[in-house]
Amino acid sequence: MTEKNNQYYNELDQKHYLPTFKRYPITLVRGQGSQVWDADGKEYIDALGGIAVNALGHNHPALVEAISKQAGKLIHISNFYLSEPQVELSQKITSLAQIERVFFSNSGAESVEGAIKIARKYAHSIGRGGEVISFEGSFHGRTLATIATGKKQMQHGFEPIPAGFKQVPLNNMDALRKVVSKETAAIIVEPIQGEGGINVVPDSFLKELRSFCDKQDIVLIFDEIQCGIARTGKMFAHEHVGIKPDIMTLAKGLGGGMPVGAILSNEKVSSAIDFGDHGTTFGGNPLATAAALAVLKTIEQEQLTQAAHEKGEWIKEQIMTMKHPDIKEVRGRGLMIGIEFRFETKPLVQKMLENGVLANATAGNVLRLVPPLIISYKELERVIEVMEKSIKEL
């Protein structure tokens, strides 16, 4: 009988799956809290959290119960009808965000696509064009429209790239003003760039951006897919700045591992949408929205927003006091942390994996830590120990 270990699953994966991921050759089979185990029985601390998805960690009883209970009642019905969890989640999330309308999708990229549609529909209603401006270093997804907002290397081989998109340097209002015209419908920005290297956009720039968009009647979109849902020590990252977007996109942590995204839009831009302008088959189904509702309630009940802030400050301080010569900068907010090194970080991530910690390399030389919000201080200490040990071993 064939032993179903890491090697077994890796060989099957390489035989059948589209080769679009450079996977680590381990197969994770179960998790508990901030720990996971692979098919060979090896244990890891999960400091990646499914890329900022598993806000409640693995196998959280509140999330498991909500999914199990809803699965036993009603999984999917289509959006021709109402469901209890969708209505309750709509009320909950608009109340938390203080943004009037919401539409549920299945993913982050879908949320951004929907945000672009809403922004363009509003812009056309007031006589503006449909151009969308994004910023260098941004990442908004991998669909055709979302790669049009991002890095040039992600566009290679997928031409023709959709028209109507421009990009300017981050934190440069002069460059932005030069490309804005009557054709501009929206400006999209991540309050903290995730894939770009955990770059915290200065509060002053976001405030200036809000003021500029108000004067020009341009839709301001905040992509909070990675930095939203308590990740930064606030429920939404823009709360650190004291401003609100016209549209906000969410996903990742919202479902705690269940695929669900959201587009929140204020009444002004939402008023341009007519029946049939947008839709989804699976988005906002009872199972996904029951999970998201459980995530939001648990974050509040367990005070995980404050926990993210306190743990994030603690781990940044611990790393900075190391004063390691290869560490250039430690940045981020809450439990969305980027450690910039003087070398490429992929070998470091590989070495940390071998030593029992899951992390991620982004933007070449940045180590990204986005662990579950429920991670313990003891586990965070272990993450730091493994990082130090792995640096020495390289």
Three-class SS state of 297: helix
Q: In the chain, what is the straight-line distance between the N-terminal and C-terminal CA atoms, in Å? A: 38
Integer Cα distance of 360 and 349 in angstroms:
6
How many Cα atoms occupy the beta-carbon half-sphere of 98 within 13 Å? 8
Question: Given 104, 135, 139, 165, which residue is catalytic?
Answer: 139
Is 252 among the residues known to form the active site? yes
Is 343 among the residues known to form the active site? no
Count of residues making up the chain: 394
Which stretches of the chain are DSSP H helices?
6-16, 49-52, 61-71, 84-97, 108-125, 144-147, 173-179, 203-216, 267-270, 286-301, 304-322, 346-354, 377-393
Tokens 């959709």 identify what position? 162
Question: Given 38, 46, 165, 223, which residue is catalytic?
Answer: 223
What does each C-alpha distance from 241 to 74, 219, 367 come to in angstroms?
40, 18, 25
Strand partners, 166: 133
Question: Given 92, 121, 234, 252, which residue is catalytic?
Answer: 252
The residues carrying an active-site annotation are 139, 223, 252
